[in-house]
Every structure is written in structure tokens, then in C-alpha cells.
Amino acid sequence: MSQPHSPSADLLELAVPYALHALSDDERDTLEGRVVAAGSAVADAFYDEVRAVRETMAVVSGSDATEPPADLRRRLLAAIADDNVRVLPSKPRRRTAWMSAAAALAIGITAAGIGLWIRPPAPQPSTAQQVFAAADVHTISGAIPAGGTATVVFSRDRNAGVLVMNDVPPPAPGTVYQMWLISDGATTSAGTMDAEAVAPSTTAVLDNLGDSTKLAFTVEPGSGSTRPTGPLIAELPLL
């Protein structure tokens, strides 16, 4: 249906640069908006072409195949064994399982937009309930420079905490906020929050505080990193 000079032609000719990640982040975001606005026929044609490019490059990847160091496999399998972060699909599914009513009431927020899933499903009572019920419950709150506040309610006895973020602006597209528990010389990922998860309020359970003394926030690409690589946006002392 698309003619060479139809209004959609300039959108379609950007499908290849889009599929090859050859647009700036701003251009990409603008383009995605224009494709949606152009209607389903144009969007279908656009994403058909994107898909074809990506399938082609998947085949091309065979020509550069190079065996990674064997140690990488060992590290990865160890990393996933300990990894409790689960980024849910964009379409909401099953996202209220662990967020106990007690925690929501105690903090006075709704459970909207939770982008984290902590494994295994919360036993009874939930981690959040245990934290709030703990004799040594502490609360630390700090302003995020970009806007909003982060509050951690935690218990050393329970070795866990609940993080609440209010009115924090969402991370830039293609990035997430990642939380890090920092102890003497060690930095451990405590989960990520994507744009959908951040607004307007977010909670996350921090399992296994260990001997961490700080909770730090960085901006990381994709779904997060194995160690902090992006800018530090805030730090809360867990003392």
C-alpha cells in the first residue's frame, strides 16, 4: 500500500537505522511516537521491516562467532543463581503478589507500577510485614536530586528493608534505576526500576541487607548491570 512518496515513506526508510540502533535516543523516541501516530498499517509495515533486519543480522552474527572465555559461563551461572531481580513485561501481569496490604497501608501508597518481582513469592508473613513489625525498625529518607524522595524502612534483625520512592522522575528511555547495597568494599545489586515502575510511587523489597552501610542509586542501561557503570544519583546511609 505504501507509495514511494506517501507520507509514511520517510518513516519506513528509518526502519533500517532504527533496527540497527543507528539513531540517537531522542530520534528513536520521536520516531516510535510518530510510528504509533501513523496508524496500524504504517506501524505494521515499519515493524515488519525492523523484524526482517533483525532476523538478517541474527544470521550475519554467525560470521563473527567467537568463543567467550570459559570463566564467563561460570560467573554467569553463579550470578543468576543469586539474582532475585525480575523485570516484568510491560503489560501488567501478576504484579501484586508480594506487595502486602499491610505494607501499602503502613506507607500510605498504592501498589501501582511495581516493576520488580522478588523471588521466591513472599512467605507468610511477607518481608515487608516482618520489617514493619520488627523491634529495630529504622527509617531513612533522602531527596533525589532529580526530584522526589527515597525512603528506606529497614530492620537489621530481619536483615531486610522496604524501599519507597515518591515522585521520582522516571529514568530516561532505555535505562533503569539500579539500587546497590554497599558494604565495606562490596557492592551488590539490589534490583532495578524501569520508567514504568517509577511513577508515581514505587516500592521494592531489599532482601539480605548483610552488613551493607549504604543504599546507592545509579542509572544503568537496559535492564541493569552487574556492577555500577552509570552516574550515581543518590545514596542513603543504612545506619
Partner 1 sequence: MDHRWPLAGAAVTQVLDRVTDGAVTLPGNGSDIERPRPVTTVDLDVLLRRVGSRDAEAFAALYDATRSRVYGMVTRVLRDRGYSEETTQDVYLQVWRTAESYDPASGSALAWLLTLAHRRAVDRVRAEHAAGQRDARYGAVTADRPTDHVSDEVIAGEERQRVAACMEGLTDLQRECLELAYYQGLTYVQVSERLSANLATVKSRMRDGLRGLRNCLGVG
Q: Is 82 in the site for partner 1 (CB under 8 A)?
A: no
In the complex with partner 1, which residue's Cβ is closer, 13 or 136?
Answer: 13
In the complex with partner 1, which residue's Cβ is closer, 20 or 101?
Answer: 20
- Taking residues 188 to 217 in sequence order and writing x for each that binds partner 1 by CB under 8 A, - otherwise, the string is ----x-------------------------
Instruction: Judge contact between 200 and 159, C-beta under 8 A.
Output: no
Specify the pairing of strand 175-183 against strand 186-193: antiparallel
The secondary element (H helix, E strand) that includes residue 216 is strand 214-221
Find the shortest distance in angstroms from Cβ 158 to partner 1: 25
Q: How many other CB atoms sit within 10 Å of the CB of residue 172?
A: 13
CA dist., res. 20 & res. 219, Å (int): 23
Could you tell me which of 191, 168, 193, 164 has the C-alpha nearest to residue 105? 164
Q: How many other CB atoms sit within 10 Å of the CB of residue 126?
A: 22
Terminus-to-terminus CA distance in the chain, angstroms?
64
In the complex with partner 1, which residue's Cβ is closer, 62 or 108?
Answer: 62
Find the shortest distance in angstroms from Cβ 18 to partner 1: 9
Binding-site member from 5, 68, 108, 239 for partner 1 (CB under 8 A)? 68
By CB under 8 A, how many residues form the interface with partner 1?
Answer: 64
CA dist., res. 199 & res. 110, Å (int): 11
Q: Is 145 in the site for partner 1 (CB under 8 A)?
A: no
Binding-site member from 57, 133, 143, 172 for partner 1 (CB under 8 A)? 57
Binding-site member from 7, 39, 92, 174 for partner 1 (CB under 8 A)? 174
Q: Is 77 in the site for partner 1 (CB under 8 A)?
A: yes
Cα torsion at 81, 121, 108, 115 (round to 10°)? 50
Binding-site member from 67, 123, 124, 135 for partner 1 (CB under 8 A)? 67
Options 74-82, 124-132, 138-146, 205-213: segment touching partner 1 (CB under 8 A):
74-82
Cis peptide before 4 (omega within 30 of 0): no
Q: Which residues bind partner 1 (CB under 8 A)?
A: 1-2, 13-17, 19-24, 27, 41, 44-45, 47-49, 51-69, 72-73, 75-77, 79-81, 83, 85-90, 119, 174, 192, 221-226, 229
